[in-house]
Structure 1
Amino acid sequence: MAALSKRRFWQRLGCLLLFLGVLITGVLLHDGQQSQSIVTLPTAIAFQQFFLRPAPELADLTPKFEIAWAHPNNYGDRLRFNADGSLVDNEPLIVLHETVYSAESAVDWFRQGDLGAEAASYHAIIRRNGTIISIVPAQDKAYGAAESGFPTAEGIETLYGDPQEPPSVNSFAYHISLETPLDGQDAELTHSGYTAAQYRSLAWLIAQTEVPAERITTHREVDLSGERIDPRSFERDRLLAQLSQLRDRLASVPPA
């Protein structure tokens, strides 16, 4: 991320997902209700330093997409300043989660507009079959990790926004959730894990950004309440190996 300002990063990631959304012609509105059509995008889109461009070399890896926007009450504006006026200049962070129940149940919950203190959301959910569901625009703040901070050698990175609320990484985080397997819809510490399709789509989505591996974390790792353990049974090394391969392929593609 050395060559990208944080503002430019969020703008471009937002443009990426908007551009992807425009390409998803199979997602239509009917009488105010969203179609459940799933279509494959015609090409992968590489998130590069200053531009978006087609990456036909990755077309065979492009996941399927759906759009299911959360209710506006369940996300907000990214903040750059603490409540005391001090600037928060943290690099973008990717936080991984799991849904615990089905992807549909999470989508339905995020579409409710009267959740109050229980308002929550992710930027994206990855189904068991690898389909990526866009929930919150990347330029906005998803409510994915309430009381949270990212531990580094220099200390805990977080943002103290509202004095009445706990500090959170949400203003500089991009939240991705993996749909939990059926045997994980409980409070056990482990389950059967995530599918190969989910790991492929997760690696592909992260590869559209320049977030380094050391800033890919989990809800469990950033949680300051000591209550969160997701994503359970997650294979970090498996993700990073696939991500490295994708980034090597993208790096070999000459600019258009």
Structure 2
Amino acid sequence: MRDFMNKNSVFYLQREVWDDIKEYKENFKEVIKQRERNRIPFFHQSPQYPYRQHLVEYIKRVCMEKKLSYCCLHLCVYLLDIFMDNHSIIPERVLIIANVCLLIAAKFEESNMTIPKIADLNAAINNRYTLKEYQDLELIVLKFFHWYIMFPTAAHYTHYYMQAIITNEEVKDREGGVRALVYNLHEAVTEYLDQIINNIHYMQCYPPSKLAAAILAASRLEVGLSSWNEQLENLTDYKKEDIHEVLFILMVK
């Protein structure tokens, strides 16, 4: 699970394509901001909350084994959190809920070749359920979300913001060159993405765009850069002071 996003994701824009449609940048930013505003309110009322850490670790393990993207992982956990927040689920059913949310997220984020099969997901939990149970539950989850799961997560925004994470001036005379700098930034970003997915308050209490901006700022500090630059401010529409609170919380954990 080394990549933030699979190239088949609807949130993915190849660099060469992006360069050809610069005039549409503002429209694209507004589209994903609108999707962010469409996120379902979270009330911290899930009776299944004690199981969340186990479920997230399970989902992370499956994503790693199946080589699914961070965006798939984060979308799955978001769907799971919201669904559990609005339903009372018996403990024996929480694993199939997690599998169904992962299946839905993978269908949305991954290519047909990498979407896990129901049989494989079921085998991971000792073949507890039937194919019909998966199909019925998938329909229930999709109906709950009104067939709309185009929710950007911090992982989506992080991938989008990475294009502005460093400037040409910042890499001049940099010891080790730009390749080492980009590698270290990528490693720091992935560590923060792992950190936030374990904490439901990060996932649900902060706008994912602001959370992603704070992740990039924290990562920049870790590699010896200043936390913010004008390039990031222009792309994210966040000023340095806008992300200060989230940045502080990320770095003291």
Indicate the TM-score class for this superposition, using the shorter chain for normalisation: under 0.3
TM-score after normalising by structure 2 = 0.26
TM-score after normalising by structure 1 = 0.26
Q: Say which structure is richer in helix.
A: 2
Q: Say which structure is richer in strand.
A: 1
